[in-house]
């Protein structure tokens, strides 16, 4: 796996490089600004890009805009975006053009090496990874008359895991119930939220996010 990194914090940037290289992953570029990384992405065509949302010079959304621009130049480029805080708008903007091969994680997840590496691999494999805290906050902020309110506690657990990009088998193992039960819960969730069922994980995530952010 070949990776390009864009992170302005030198300590975190070098930590990411060391973490990845210790796992046998090649870091072909580690930049500290969006302009440099966008140029290098076009030139190097890596397997995945890991980008901070906030980069110089304004530290607002340069990394996010670089990610979107990179996908325009290299359609389908897997991208994992890192953020210090839950920023729902950025998560929504990231998946607005399609959710396959995209991830949005809080930086604190990097310290949980197995979680971070799993997210990176799922993005490379074309999946979608959304930080559970983003999903949690989106669900908490729904209106009382929202269909989300009709979900049972178990269905909410299943929905949260779906929105993180996990498949039925993983959800079943995580909740210690059968895949048949998971399929039934997902059917109920789709019915209550008015979403079209699909076996495609990233489409499920996109549908869930679209519903949550529309209220």
Does 2-130 match 135-213 in CATH topology? no
Class of domain 2-130: alpha beta
Q: What is the pLDDT of residue 2?
A: 95
Token pair listed for 116: 């971070």
pLDDT of residue 47: 95
- The rounded distance, in Å, linking the Cα atoms of 81 and 63 is 8
pLDDT in tens, 16-54: 999 999 999 999 999 898 888 888 888 899 999 999 988
Q: Give the separation between CA 159 and CA 174, rounded to whole angstroms.
A: 13
Report d(CA 92, CA 130) in Å as an integer.
10
The pair of structure tokens assigned to 186 is 């997902």
Is the whole model's pTM more than 0.85, yes or no? Answer: no
- SS3 of 2, please? strand
The whole-number pLDDT of residue 50 equals: 94
**The architecture CATH gives domain 135-213:** Orthogonal Bundle (1.10)
Q: CA–CA separation, 155 vs 189, rounded Å?
A: 7
Instruction: Please write the tens of the pLDDT for every residue from 109-121.
Output: 888 888 899 989 9
Put the strands of the sheet holding 2-6 in their side by side order. Answer: 26-31, 2-6, 48-52, 79-83, 102-106, 128-130
Q: Give the domain ranges of the chain.
A: 2-130, 135-213
Specify the pLDDT at position 66.
85
Q: At what angle do helices 168-175 and 179-193 cross, to 10 degrees?
A: 110
For residue 144, give every residue at least 6 positions away whose Cβ sits within 8 Å of its Cβ, in sequence order, or none.
none
DSSP for residue 9? -
Percent helix, strand and coil across the chain, each rounded to 5? 55, 15, 30
């Amino acid at each position: 796996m070949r990776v390009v990194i864009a992170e302005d914090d030198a300590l975190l940037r070098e930590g990411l490089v060391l973490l990845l290289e210790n796992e046998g992953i090649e870091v072909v570029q580690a930049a500290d600004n969006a302009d440099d990384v966008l140029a290098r992405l076009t030139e190097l065509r890596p397997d995945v890009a890991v980008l901070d949302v906030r980069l110089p010079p304004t530290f607002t959304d340069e990394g996010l805009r670089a990610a979107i621009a990179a996908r325009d130049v290299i359609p389908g480029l897997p991208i994992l975006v890192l953020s210090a805080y839950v920023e729902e708008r950025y998560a929504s903007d990231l998946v607005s053009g399609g959710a396959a091969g995209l991830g949005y994680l809080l930086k604190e997840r990097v310290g949980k090496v197995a979680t971070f590496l799993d997210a990176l691999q799922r993005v490379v494999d074309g999946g979608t990874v959304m930080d559970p805290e983003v999903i949690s906050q989106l669900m908490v902020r729904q209106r009382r008359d929202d269909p989300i309110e009709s979900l049972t506690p178990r269905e909410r657990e299943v929905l949260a895991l779906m929105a993180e990009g996990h498949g039925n088998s993983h959800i079943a193992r995580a909740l210690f119930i059968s895949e048949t039960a998971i399929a039934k819960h997902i059917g109920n969730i789709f019915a209550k939220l008015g979403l079209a069922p699909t076996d495609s994980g990233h489409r499920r995530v996109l549908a869930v996010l679209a519903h949550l952010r529309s209220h």
